[in-house]
Structure 1
Amino acid sequence: MISDFQNGFAGNEPIQADGNTNLSLVKLNANDLPNVAVDSVWLLSPVHQANATEKLVVQLRNYGDEDAKNIAVKLNINAQQKAISSLNVPAGKTTIDTLSYSGLALGWQKGTISIKDFPLTFDDQLNFSFKVSAEQKVLSINGKQDGKYIKALFGADRYFKLTEMPEANINYAAFSSYSLIVLNGLANPSSGLAQELKTYIANGGAVVVFPDLDADVTIYSQFLTALNLPAITALNKVPAKVSKIELGHPLFKDVFESLPQNLNLPQVNRYLDFNESNNSNKENLLQLPANKLFFARYTIGNGQVYLSATDLENEDSNFAKHPVFVPLMYKIAFASAKEQPIYYTAMKDNVLESQKINLGANQSLKLVADQFEVIPELRQTNGKTLLYIADQVKRAGFYDLKKADSTLAVVAFNDNRTESDMHYTAQTELQKLFGKQEVVFLDPKSDSIASAVSAKNNGTELWKLCLILSLVFIAIEIVLVRFYPIQKPSLRAH
């Protein structure tokens, strides 16, 4: 094996070679090089709206042994410059920066983060893609309550498209088209609804439950436990006030510009008590005294359920009219939006994720770019479609996922950043990776590689030496015969 054994090539995991293989390592000498790379990027905005101001975070990594100063960073989206920055990156460390941008139109966006760094340039650009959607679909299933607060909430923003269904006439087949489902005061939630919601949640959906406080406790408990939520223990009619809000939770990030010392929190006159013996998947958002649940988030499979201890009726609480209600529900809706990964690594990521794609009998998908086309293998799982491309995408860039002539998605690929670290594994470290296995190290400066390889392949060849020695001995014999004739003994007569 002939290599410079760059750190990314050798790795840190033990290497187990075939016991019947003789392994010789030829370590080429290479110099450590300074290098700064665009390591990664992620979006801070959970949803993307036209002409909205959004933010992303870029991370640079310095693989060199010296500090890198004033590295210019540029953000382009659809070939238009959207933001610039300048970063200092300490030796061997990473540095992050937040960039703001706006003015996006509807549809798929092709973004690039780029820097200027020499002598290595292959990792100076990182591609990413995302979609700006025209709307987000929300479903409200209403019981005896008319759902006026949910309707007013999501009807005030044209980005949300609210659909309402009565409890008695639910279209289960439409669940998968909504990113958020709100259960608003259902009087008699059925086991069939629970089963459909379990499938919806398993596929990554989000559900908010505002119970009907006058419903049968036993029926409601069975419904909640079917969703892996806590059972109801009692209806509490003692007025209380929310005592704690989890401001550190991501849902409350950027909600409050400033916080007064005595923060006004919701008040409640009637609420449900729950059996909270198992809280492993629970995140409290708002709590009543004695750490009782008021509004909590439960992670269940790929999805999430938000459970309220009270309804949205004025006589039961002021939650629906409290200032925290609107931003909380908006944040829940935004967080429920499903988004594909914003970029992949060429020659490494062989499975692409997409929202569920339905194909006709004679239809197929194609991943295309300039002078490139591949038909991926499709598999449906958990409400999404997986596309298997093996290792056919070998170059960084943008690829269109097409169904006939329509573009379903734009997929971004980047080169593997493991090649960015221009340090090399020493011979002693390589030996440790092979453990007790017998490995021969050859020095290209002093060893004859050709002889070593020939000896490894053919064994030690002695025929040349035998031939040479034979010729030498024949020559010696000729010389002896010519210059030193043999004296024959004379015959004497007796």
Structure 2
Amino acid sequence: SSDTISFRVNDAAWQQIELVIGDESVRFDDTFRITAHSTPNLSVLALNEGAPSPYIQAAFRAYNGFRLNNVNINTPPADWTEYNLVILNGCTRISAELGKQLAKAQQLGQTVCIFPGRTNNYTALNDGLKEISDISISGIDTASQAANTLQQGSTLVRDLFESIPENVQLPVANWHYVLQSGLTANRQSILSFRNGDPMFAQYSPYTGQLYILSTGIDLQSGNFPSSYFFAPSLYQMAVQSKGGNVYALTLGARQPAYIPLNNINDRNMVRLYHNGNEAIPPQRTYGAGLHVFLDEVVASPGFYTLAAPGSDTTIIAVNNNKAESDLATIDIGNIEDIWAGTDVQVVSADEISSKGGRSNWGSFPLWKVCVILALLMLAAETFVLAGSLRKPTAATE
């Protein structure tokens, strides 16, 4: 069974959260640690070919944690680095120059989402898509149909919903573009039609993610903007590129912590601090930040601080590997591998039964040990009885 705990954090600083099981009989692995940091200002850039979408505006205005900037797609800002999410809304063409800007944004770890407009000249969209990756539109399907498959294992859906109702209605598209992609695009279809065409797809050619809806988000195109997935997906896409908001790492899992820092070099590296100790963990550049590997310098669970000169502090939670507390048998071959090179011999039950209780530690049989112990006990008992018989005789004399 599982339970859900809801709580609200009013402080914008890092929060160190511990969930503790009050079981006195089992003290190991009874604490789960999480660090969380609220992100009150996530910036979204919407590049609109026509009027701004009322659905996008309503979604982001419903929550005050986002700043939405609507601009015309023909006059985009030169610098996109402040934006977490870039949306192309209603576009019927993507120039090669704009495609290069979109590719650069993804290389820096930003998320891009394309909500196209309908046009028969879809090759004008391919001009920009090919600058991003091996992605193209090969045709347009004008049949109205509902999505048939939801990929619940995708990162967007998995991180978005705790559970999805079994009877949830998937969105309907009145038309859709037929999307094609090569292996380098790393496509994952989140929503698919019955014939396998993607309705909503995720592409990962770079550090940042690219999402493409194969239909529009206007009333004539279908009901995706009023579906169960639209607004939550926008929120999650904006949060994805931010990185470093919640950390709960596991010891020994060799999973890196992504730190959104872009001013790191050989002389200005991230350092780890804990209980007055300092270490420099292995780290490498990843997108607009760093992947920091804590396993090389962390040996016990707890809260650890990562910081670099001139950068914000990040607090990481590290937990025990839950596999350590899962009671299960282990194969004798695995035991021998674990203790390889040590002065330990593993004896199987079959060897014990076939050798009549003998072990490999020596040739002395177990039954002889039992006989010797019995004789020693008999001698001790005889000595005690003999002593008690002599004492009355001495008293009579």
Query: Normalised by the shorter chain, which TM-score bucket?
Result: 0.5 to 0.7
User: What's the secondary structure of 2:57's corresponding residue?
Assistant: helix
Measure how far apart 1:409 and its partner are. Answer: 1.3
1:331 alignment partner, one of 226, 233, 245: 233
Unmatched tracts of structure 2, length 5 or more: 347-358, 364-397
1:167 alignment partner, one of 73, 93, 106: 73
After TM superposition, the structure 1 = structure 2 runs for residues 279-358 of structure 1, keeping only pairs within 5 Å, are 281-285=187-191, 287=193, 292-314=197-219, 316-319=220-223, 323-324=226-227, 327-338=229-240, 339-340=243-244, 342-345=247-250, 349=254, 352-358=257-263
2:99 alignment partner, one of 194, 215, 224: 194
* Structure 2 CA distance for partners of 1:424 and 1:207, relative to 1, 3 Å: closer
Measure how far apart 1:337 and its partner are. Answer: 1.8
Distance 2:221 2:210 in 1: 21
| Counterpart in the other structure of 2:38 | 132
Measure how far apart 1:273 and its partner are. Answer: 4.1
Measure how far apart 1:324 and its partner are. Answer: 1.2
* Structure 2 CA distance for partners of 1:392 and 1:344, relative to 1, 3 Å: same
Measure how far apart 1:184 and its partner are. Answer: 1.2
Distance 2:18 2:237 in 1: 24
Q: Could you list the per-position Cα deviations for residues 417-448 of structure 1 after superposition, in whole angstroms to 9, with x for gaps in the alignment?
A: 5654788979876557899x99885999879x
Stretches (4+) displaced over 6 A: 254-258, 276-280, 421-429, 432-435, 437-440, 442-447
| Counterpart in the other structure of 1:409 | 314
1:112–1:128 Cα contact (<8 Å) kept: yes
* Structure 2 CA distance for partners of 1:402 and 1:416, relative to 1, 3 Å: same
Distance 2:178 2:286 in 1: 36
Which of the pair is proportionally richer in helix? 2
1:154 alignment partner, one of 60, 63, 68: 60
Distance 1:348 1:284 in 2: 27
User: What's the secondary structure of 2:230's corresponding residue?
Assistant: helix
After TM superposition, the structure 1 = structure 2 runs for residues 390-405 of structure 1, keeping only pairs within 5 Å, are 391-403=296-308
* Structure 2 CA distance for partners of 1:318 and 1:445, relative to 1, 3 Å: closer
Distance 1:265 1:429 in 2: 50
Distance 1:383 1:354 in 2: 9
| Counterpart in the other structure of 1:373 | 278
2:94–2:127 Cα contact (<8 Å) kept: no
Measure how far apart 1:309 and its partner are. Answer: 3.1
Measure how far apart 1:140 and its partner are. Answer: 0.8
Q: Establish whether residue 243 from structure 1 lines up as the match of residue 149 from structure 2.
A: no
Measure how far apart 1:112 and its partner are. Answer: 1.6
| Counterpart in the other structure of 2:375 | none
1:206–1:305 Cα contact (<8 Å) kept: yes
1:203–1:303 Cα contact (<8 Å) kept: yes
Larger Rg: 1
1:208 alignment partner, one of 108, 113, 116: 113
2:181–2:187 Cα contact (<8 Å) kept: no
2:52–2:70 Cα contact (<8 Å) kept: no
Larger RCO, structures 1/2 (Cα 8 Å, 6+ apart): 1
Most deviating of 125-134 and 416-425: 416-425
1:182 alignment partner, one of 78, 82, 87: 87
2:49–2:90 Cα contact (<8 Å) kept: yes
* Structure 2 CA distance for partners of 1:178 and 1:215, relative to 1, 3 Å: farther
Measure how far apart 1:272 and its partner are. Answer: 3.4
1:112 alignment partner, one of 18, 22, 42: 18
Distance 1:398 1:421 in 2: 24
Distance 1:158 1:228 in 2: 34
Measure how far apart 1:294 and its partner are. Answer: 4.0
Distance 1:313 1:417 in 2: 47
After TM superposition, the structure 1 = structure 2 runs for residues 21-170 of structure 1, keeping only pairs within 5 Å, are 97-105=2-10, 106-117=12-23, 121-170=27-76
Letter in 1 for 2:147: K
* Structure 2 CA distance for partners of 1:118 and 1:428, relative to 1, 3 Å: farther
Q: Could you list the per-position Cα deviations for residues 77-103 of structure 1 after superposition, in whole angstroms to 9, with x for gaps in the alignment?
A: xxxxxxxxxxxxxxxxxxx52331212
Measure how far apart 1:311 and its partner are. Answer: 3.1
Distance 2:232 2:256 in 1: 32
* Structure 2 CA distance for partners of 1:118 and 1:425, relative to 1, 3 Å: farther
When normalised by structure 1's length, the TM-score is 0.55
| Counterpart in the other structure of 2:391 | none
* Structure 2 CA distance for partners of 1:411 and 1:284, relative to 1, 3 Å: closer
| Counterpart in the other structure of 2:127 | 222
Letter in 1 for 2:233: K
User: What's the secondary structure of 1:196's corresponding residue?
Assistant: helix
Measure how far apart 1:162 and its partner are. Answer: 1.0
Distance 2:333 2:149 in 1: 51
* Structure 2 CA distance for partners of 1:196 and 1:149, relative to 1, 3 Å: same
Root-mean-square deviation (Å): 4.5
Measure how far apart 1:398 and its partner are. Answer: 1.2
Distance 2:212 2:319 in 1: 41
Q: Alignment length, in residue pairs?
A: 341
- Determine what percentage of the aligned residue pairs are the same residue: 18
Q: Could you list the per-position Cα deviations for residues 4-37 of structure 1 after superposition, in whole angstroms to 9, with x for gaps in the alignment?
A: xxxxxxxxxxxxxxxxxxxxxxxxxxxxxxxxxx
Letter in 2 for 1:324: S
Unmatched tracts of structure 1, length 5 or more: 1-95, 448-494
1:350–1:391 Cα contact (<8 Å) kept: no
